[in-house]
Amino acid sequence: MNKELYDLIIIGAGPAGMTAGIYAARYRLRALLFGEMVGGMAAFAHKICNFPGFDSISGMELAQKLSEQVSALGVEVKADRVIAIAKNDLFEVRTSGGTCYSRAVILATGSERKKLNLDNEDSFLGRGLSYCATCDAPFYRNKIAGVVGGSDAALTAALLLSEFASKVHIIYRKDSFFRPKPAWVEQVNANNKIEPIFNTNVTSFIGDEMLEAVQLNNRDELKLDGLFIEIGSVPNTELAVGLNVVLENDHIKTDAEQKTNIPKAFAAGDVTTTPFRQIVVAAGQGAVAAHSAYRSIQEDYDRPSH
Amino acid sequence: MDGSVIHVTDDNFDETVLKSEMPVLLDFSAEWCAPCKMLAPILKDLAAEYQDRMIVAHGDTDDCPRAATGYRITAVPTLIIFKNGEEVERLIGLRSKQALESAIDAII
């Protein structure tokens, strides 16, 4: 790994990080982007119908387009895991492939899927339990599927599953869907295969080699061949915490210029205290963060030398 | 071995995976699967990195349905490490390059 000095290191390859990369390239900043999952969580979406410019696009396709655009602009993208970031004069970014340095950083680390945290959860992964409907729905053709959750993600997962499964149960702990977009609710209600079960929790998994059923808290066990968990996510703030970046409500606190409390450390996307966790918002924040990083670096050059 | 990822089908499964002298890291994946696409560049790196010690192979479940069913693949990506024709490790879901290297180094 190069010990060379970068102007900007971006951590995260989702819409926020990738957009920051696009802007950084066009500002002719010497930039390096670390990301383990190109496209980020957006890549897992079945259908995205609210990203401006596209009537409907799959998450995978959007991830592909982002990847191609960033690549064409010549941004250096690496899949190494970033272990820690420290700041002295410069930012020291330690990764699984070595250490590198930069004048500024953008944290666009997004969030991670929440698990149910039930016994045996890990052992059923890939044996009937999944956190990715877009990956695994086709394996449940003519089978019975369940989705845990009540958000847009859960609704769209159920709609996707209904294209393959014979029946889809949505199991949700509240008494109605959580701030759903009316468009999705309409489709779910009109779909004969989908059956919502409200005010209910999964309490345990039942099965031998493969998942066979789940135990519910307030009724008989439910026979299922596959269960998909869509209960939200947890922000990835480890690196921020290590850098002494201030959090608010577990997310990175930023201002309108995507600045954190640490000079020249910026943040964008779902990891921040963003008012609205959407792809387009993440992309917008990535652009602002790159712009702010560019300006902060320019200010250094503009300052008269002593 | 030229250090590139080998494409596996039901037709060449026996020869490429089961009868290989070197251990084989086989990635079962699918066209429609986003994390599978994310794994692709990592596999390429691993193929070059472990060139003379391990074969890295990729099997689309549509191209090797018999193998996919035989190994009970119901989630993609699923990575299986084979040694002397036997499954010795199974990793389900997208992993970082570092995590895969750790798993591989523990076995080969």
Rounded to 10 degrees, the C-alpha dihedral B31/A162/B90/B98 comes to 60
Residue among A57, A60, A82, A131 with most chain B CBs within 10 A, to mutate: A60
Chain B residues close to A80, C-beta within 8 Å: 97-98
Q: Is the ipTM, as predicted for this complex, more than 0.85?
A: no
Cα separation, B100 vs B43, whole angstroms:
9
- B34-B25-B37 Cα angle (round to 5): 15
Q: Decide the pairing of beta strands A233-235 and A211-216.
A: unpaired
Q: Where are the beta strands (DSSP E) in chain B?
A: 6-7, 24-29, 55-60, 78-83, 86-92
Q: Token pair of A90, please?
A: 């410069």
pLDDT in tens, B75-102: 999 999 999 999 999 999 888 888 899 9
Return the pLDDT at A303: 66
Amino acid found at A37: M
Return the pLDDT at A167: 98
pLDDT in tens, B34-57: 889 889 888 998 999 999 999 999
Q: What distances in angstroms separate CA A213 from CA A129, A143, A244, B101, one per listed residue?
A: 11, 12, 45, 35
Give the model's confidence band at A2: pLDDT under 50 very low, under 70 low, under 90 confident, else very high: low
What average pLDDT does the segment B12-30 reach?
95
pLDDT in tens, A280-303: 999 999 999 999 999 999 998 776
Sequence-distant (6+) residues with CB within 8 A of A189 are: none
Residue A234 sits at φ, ψ, to 5 deg, of: -115, 130
Please tell me which residue in B3, B9, B30, B33 is annotated as part of the active site: B33
Length of chain B: 108
Return the pLDDT at B18: 95
3-state secondary structure of A182: helix
> Which residue shows structure tokens 């009868």?
B19
Question: Which secondary structure element, helix H or strand E, spans residue A266, and what is its range?
Answer: strand A265-267
B75–A60 CB contact, under 8 Å: no
**Number of helical (H) and strand (E) elements in chain B, helices listed first:** 4, 5
B35–A130 CB contact, under 8 Å: no
Chain B residues close to A134, C-beta within 8 Å: 32-34
Average predicted confidence (pLDDT) for chain A? 93
Chain A residues close to B90, C-beta within 8 Å: 126
Cα separation, A37 vs B36, whole angstroms:
10
Give the model's confidence band at B27: pLDDT under 50 very low, under 70 low, under 90 confident, else very high: very high
Cα separation, B99 vs A168, whole angstroms:
34
Rounded to two decimals, the pTM is 0.84
Return the pLDDT at A304: 59
pLDDT in tens, A102-125: 999 999 999 988 999 998 898 898
